[in-house]
């Protein structure tokens, strides 16, 4: 399993919490970033920032922000 760093921010930019999630190594970077990782957006009213954990496993996750859906 691939580990991904996740941080949540309030919409005003104030840091709230950080955690890690695990995704399958069989995913390519696009599927991981735009299909699998958004499923783990557990605090829907906050901004979710994701980045690679540096564990050396594929896929490499480029830093990305997921904004709350209204």
pLDDT digit string, tens, across residues 11-61: 898 999 999 999 999 999 999 999 999 999 999 999 999 999 999 999 999
Query: How much is the pLDDT for 17?
Result: 96
Query: How much is the pLDDT for 69?
Result: 77
Provide the whole-model pTM: 0.89
**Which domain range does residue 48 map to?**
2-66
To 5 degrees, how large is the angle CA 30–CA 32–CA 37?
Answer: 130
Q: What average pLDDT does range 62-68 have in this prediction?
A: 94
Residues 6+ apart with CB under 8 A from 12: none
Helix (H, G, I), strand (E, B) or coil at 40: helix
Count how many domains the chain has.
1
| 29 phi, psi to nearest 5 deg | -60, -40
CA distance linking residue 21 with residue 9, whole number of Å = 16
Closest CA to 5 of 34, 35, 31, 40: 40
Confidence of residue 70 (pLDDT cuts 50, 70, 90): low
């Amino acid at each position: 399993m691939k580990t991904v760093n996740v941080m949540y921010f309030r919409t005003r930019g104030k840091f709230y919490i950080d955690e890690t999630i695990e995704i399958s190594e069989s995913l390519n970077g696009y599927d991981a970033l735009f299909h699998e990782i958004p499923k783990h957006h557990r605090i829907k009213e906050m901004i979710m920032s994701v980045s690679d954990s540096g564990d050396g496993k594929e896929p490499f996750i480029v830093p990305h922000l997921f904004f709350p859906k209204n």
